[in-house]
A and B are shown apart, each in its own frame.
Chain A
Amino acid sequence: MTTDTITNDWTNVAETITVCRADELLDGEMRLIDADGRKIGVFRCGDGALYAIEDRCSHDDGPLAEGEFDADACTVECPRHGSLFDLRSGRPKTLPAFQPVDTFAALIEGDEVKLEI
């Protein structure tokens, strides 16, 4: 099983939470979780890598986790106005969004998917 992390801002890591069992999040699947009122989408891309982003488009607060997830390209498309986000970096690849969304470290520990928030 691949263990992957996001090299984003680790200085803010305060807590690790369990998302689900590792076999409940297969390649090409997504889990939406609520972490203290903050919705976060945890995506497993085609190569098995895990990425997590805030479920809120930086353009118009659209629910990104409800958008089309392309596991091979590792992108998700905002269902509201079509901005395409790179799950690795949280950066939009197309307008109308132009600012990145928050990213979180997601990894597999034992047989569980964990999220650093």
Chain B
Amino acid sequence: MATPETKAPPLSAKDLSDEERALKGIGSDYEERFGFHDPETDYAYKSPKGLSREVVESISDYKDEPAWMREFRLKALDHFMQRPTPTWGGNLGQIDFDNIHYFVRASEKNSRSWDEVPDDIKNTFDRLGIPEAERKFLSGVGAQYESEVVYHQVNEALEKQGVIFTDMDTALREHEEIVREYWATVIPPNDNKLAALNSAVWSGGSFVYVPAGVKVEMPLQAYFRINTENMGQFERTLIIAEEGSDVHYVEGCTAPVYSTDSLHSAVVEIIAKPGAHVRYTTVQNWSHNVYNLVTKRAVAQEGATMEWVDCNLGSKLTMKYPSIYLLGPEAHGEILSIAFAGQGQHQDAGGKIIHGAPKTTSSIFAKSISKDGGRGTYRGLLEIAKGATEARSKVVCDALLLDSDSRSDTYPTIRIDENDANVGHEASVSKIGEEQLFYLKAHGLDEEEASKMIVNGFIEPITKELPMEYAVEMNRLIELQMEGSIG
């Protein structure tokens, strides 16, 4: 077992070079593009603030759930109440769990046509470009607004092949047997405090079922939007990819800018059966008043491939470590992670891969960028369990510090219980160098362009794995974060 740690201590302001000083300050248009909020005048239901047995029961009643799900929620609530708040990672002590609305229903129904979605909500998703993206390059779209999904549509041809892509509430009603078979088998409610919270008050999220041999050519996308202040969003996503199937799921998320905090705590479970290929891409761009505490875990059976592409740009604090359990021979797992930490942000991200079978292979590539006093943390686990012979893995985590006030920490844990494992680990922390800037400026770029180019080059190995539309968006978002950094 090895747990090396690298830290770049923050320097005082007087240590800044001219270039570094010039990079300070963010001029982003988040508030204008994503940070707006709608009036809440026509909401169907909003639970009172705070968490109690009554709130959990009212969510279950409201959804008219089967008894087993109600019991599941109440048991999870007990776990949540009994568990202490984690003291590792980010500072969770500031979350006021009594000051959160745990269930908010904006619309009475979930539509399959944008025309049926209430105007306010539809306008929001129009502004975010979701209907346009659906028309252009997606196989299916889900749009969650507050606690529930307000729109869901999947390509007809895929439906005919047996693909199910719907919201989790509908799945529980219409596909209860499949849901119950897999529900909480990957992430049990007592896995951790936040998973227990999600299990108690979950609402919305996606259910994806891909039959054996079916290849979903274009991505399925879900978009999550919080509108209410002091809101908790707790979606639950379950993806089952049968033998030899192939699917790419993409999620995005934004919220208005408020002075008080909101909470997003999702659970995502994925089962990739033998020979299946699942890619799950996240472009997280919550406003800076959102705590983003998510548990994501996947199982890859024999010969299956599971990939997490995890991009974290927004939020006040993100704690998220997508995991892959390689439980069948020759299963393969990949985690690509980007975290961008600006002023007041802490991105505590990374990934975990557990090799539980022979001849399994994996890689983790994590990149973090910190600026304006932001903190980027890589936290990861690589485990080669007893019996996982001939396993191979590579872990690379790189951090880029754009100024001397920012911070980067690396906490890689590696456990190896087989002698023939082949494991590599590389870590680096670097700063934008004056020489790099000088070189690019000598070729006609100004400082801002040069900095953007360096940052985009730094994350390029990961953005090139995104579908083109998302790669463009990702680069644009990074540029927004960088905008106004100069002068």
Interface residues of A (CB under 8 A from B): 77-84, 93-96, 98-99
Contact = CB atoms under 8 A, between A and B. Distances in A.
B356 A98 contact: yes
Interface string B176-204: 00000000111111111000000000000
Contacts of A80: 190
Interface string B286-302: 00000000000101000
Interface string B323-341: 0010100000000000000
B385 interface: yes
Q: How large is the interface on B (under 10, 10 to 19, 20 to 34, 35 or more residues)?
A: 10 to 19
Chain B residues touching A, majority SS:
loop
A99 B356 contact: yes
A95 B190 contact: no
Given A94-B186, A95-B188, 7 more contacts: A81-B190, A81-B192, A82-B190, A83-B188, A95-B186, A98-B356, A99-B386
B354 interface: yes
B190 A98 contact: no
A69 to B, nearest CB: 14
A98 B192 contact: no
Interface in B371-385: 385
A95 B326 CA distance: 12
8 contacts: A77-B190, A80-B190, A81-B188, A82-B188, A84-B188, A94-B184, A95-B188, A99-B386
Contacts of A84: 188
Of the candidates A80, A83, A93, A95, the one having the most CB atoms from chain B within 10 angstroms of its own CB is: A95
A83 B192 CA distance: 11
Contacts of A98: 325, 327, 354, 356, 385
Contact of A94 (B188, B354, B385): B188
A95 B297 CA distance: 9
Interface in B293-315: 297, 299
A117 B354 CA distance: 31
Contact of A99 (B79, B186, B385): B385
Contact of B299 (A79, A81, A93, A95): A95
Interface string B352-364: 0010100000000
Contacts of B189: 82
A96 B299 CA distance: 10
Contacts of A78: 190
Given A81-B190, A98-B354, A93 B325 contact: no
Contacts of A79: 190
B185 A95 contact: yes
A102 B325 CA distance: 21
A109 B79 CA distance: 39
A81 B191 contact: yes
A99 B417 CA distance: 13
Nearest to A81: B191
Contact of B191 (A82, A93, A99): A82
Nearest to B298: A95
A79 to B, nearest CB: 7
A98 B191 CA distance: 14
Interface in B383-429: 385-387
B306 to A, nearest CB: 13
A63 to B, nearest CB: 14
A4 B15 CA distance: 74
A96 B190 contact: no
A90 B385 CA distance: 18
Given A98-B327, A99-B385, A93 B185 contact: yes
Contacts of B356: 98-99
Contacts of B192: 81
Contacts of B187: 95
Contacts of B185: 93-95
Contacts of A82: 79, 188-191
Contacts of A93: 185
A84 B191 CA distance: 11
Nearest to A84: B188
A84 B386 CA distance: 21
Contacts of A96: 188, 191, 297, 325
Nearest to B385: A99
